[in-house]
């Protein structure tokens, strides 16, 4: 073990840190949850009484924003590996900003859905709209947890606790953020093809 490497950062056992294993288990459980949601969507759609509607254009803009945030997160990760601390901080801050922009965009998309007479519940609601709100809302909740994770890593980076010899926190944050971006792109394409 490198003397400057802390015990909490050391890779153990099969080469995976326990925090990485927990993150992978979390990701797996989220995948299973969204697989259940999208399966339920398809089954319910085939039962009938399904209202077709156009997705708001704002969802495409949000998809571009989250793809850009994934690129800035990867830039921050590569910068940390090269000990380019200033660039890493900028990348993390940019990712945080783009993530917040995505959440605001999702909130605005809810308004666009309502403007198109697509509701979550009530007498005017159709199951098709309710499914869209649930998929978007649960994803937004997980993205909010990702933003908290990013803020913690940024705070550590500002205290010079993230660098080429202490990559666990930014590595885990990068993995989770890419997962959230890929999950949204899957959901957007799923809704686009099945609405």
Dump pLDDT digits (tens) for 99-154.
Answer: 999 999 999 998 888 887 777 766 566 777 788 889 999 999 999 999 999 999 99
Q: What is the crossing angle of helices 127-158 and 18-46, to 10°? A: 160
- The number of domains in the chain is 1
Q: Give the pLDDT score at 92.
A: 96
Q: Which residues pair with residue 163 across a beta bridge?
A: 166
- Domain-located, residue 46: no
Distance CA 132, CA 43 (A): 14
Write the CATH number for 144.
1.20.120.80
- Domain-located, residue 50: no
- Region of residue 36 (left: phi > 0; alpha: psi -120 to 50; beta: else): alpha
- pLDDT by residue (tens digit) across 30-84? 999 999 999 998 888 888 776 777 888 999 999 999 999 999 999 999 999 999 9
- Domain-located, residue 68: yes
- Domain-located, residue 154: yes
Q: Do residues 185 and 66 touch, judged by C-beta distance below 8 A?
A: yes
> Tokens for 58?
């704002």
- Domain-located, residue 82: yes
- Domain-located, residue 6: no
Domain that holds residue 102: 15-41+58-194
- Domain-located, residue 20: yes
Q: What is the DSSP letter of 122?
A: S
- Domain-located, residue 98: yes
């Amino acid at each position: 073990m490198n003397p400057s490497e802390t015990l909490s950062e050391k890779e153990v056992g099969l080469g995976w840190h326990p925090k990485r294993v927990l993150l992978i288990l979390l990701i797996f459980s989220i995948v299973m949850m969204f697989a259940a949601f999208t399966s339920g969507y398809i089954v319910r759609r085939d039962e009938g009484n399904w209202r077709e509607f156009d997705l708001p254009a704002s969802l495409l803009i949000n998809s571009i924003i989250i793809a850009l945030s994934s690129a800035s997160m990867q830039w921050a990760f590569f910068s940390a590996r090269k000990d380019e601390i200033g660039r890493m901080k900028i990348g993390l801050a940019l990712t945080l900003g783009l993530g917040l922009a995505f959440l605001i965009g999702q909130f605005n998309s809810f308004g666009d859905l309502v403007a198109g007479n697509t509701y979550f519940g009530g007498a005017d609601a159709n199951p098709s709209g309710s499914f869209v709100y649930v998929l978007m809302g649960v994803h937004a909740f997980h993205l909010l947890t990702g933003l908290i994770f990013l803020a913690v890593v940024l705070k550590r980076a500002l205290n010079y606790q993230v660098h080429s010899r202490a990559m666990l926190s930014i590595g885990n944050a990068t993995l989770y953020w890419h997962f959230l971006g890929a999950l949204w792109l899957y959901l957007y394409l799923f809704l686009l093809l099945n609405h």
